[in-house]
Amino acid sequence: MYRTPNDRPRYDELRRGRRTLALLAPLVQLGFLTLGLGIFLDQSRSLLSDAQFTWGERQVMGIIALMALGGCGFAGWIVGRVIKVAAELVDVLADSAESAWRTNELIEQHLIPTLARVANALETKEPVRDRTTSRERP
């Protein structure tokens, strides 16, 4: 397809937004992991103190602390994956919009003029019954 020099790719902002989202995903994952670490340290502080807890109470507090760390890590992974999928979806939407624009451009520049030439050629020709050849005449 012929492209003029001033014609630059469209939807650059959408593509930049996709890159931004793709860069944001690991930061969100790290933020969730940091949140889980903070909750873990808050929960485990009582385990390390001189408080008089039974063995069972310490196990429950340790499990809760580990579940907080693991749960926040898992939530960070899920949110990071969702952000990455959203980034790819933005890229797919940009590609779809650009392909629709190029299809429209192709139809306007090639198909419509060709159909106009075909219609014009058909209008200027003789009717079919008047175009018999010498072999067809009795």
- Taking only the tens place, the pLDDT of each residue in 74-84 is 999 999 999 99
Under DSSP, the state recorded for 25 is H
pLDDT at 121 exceeding the cut of 70: yes
Query: Which tokens go with 22?
Result: 């793709």
pLDDT band at 4 (very low <50, low <70, confident <90, very high): low
Under DSSP, the state recorded for 130 is G
What is the reported pLDDT for 77?
94
Average pLDDT, the chain: 82
At 37-85, the pLDDT tens digits run 998 888 888 777 777 888 888 888 889 888 999 999 999 999 999 999 9
**Chain center to CA of 3:** 26
Q: Which residue has the higher pLDDT, 112 or 136?
A: 112
pLDDT at 7 exceeding the cut of 70: no
Q: Which residues of 26-51 are buried (b: 16+ CB within 10 A; e: fewer)?
A: eebbeebbebbeebbeebbeeeeeee
d(CA 77, CA 85): 12
Query: Which tokens go with 89?
Result: 């979806």
Q: Kindly list the domain boundaries of the chain, sorted by start residue.
A: 13-94
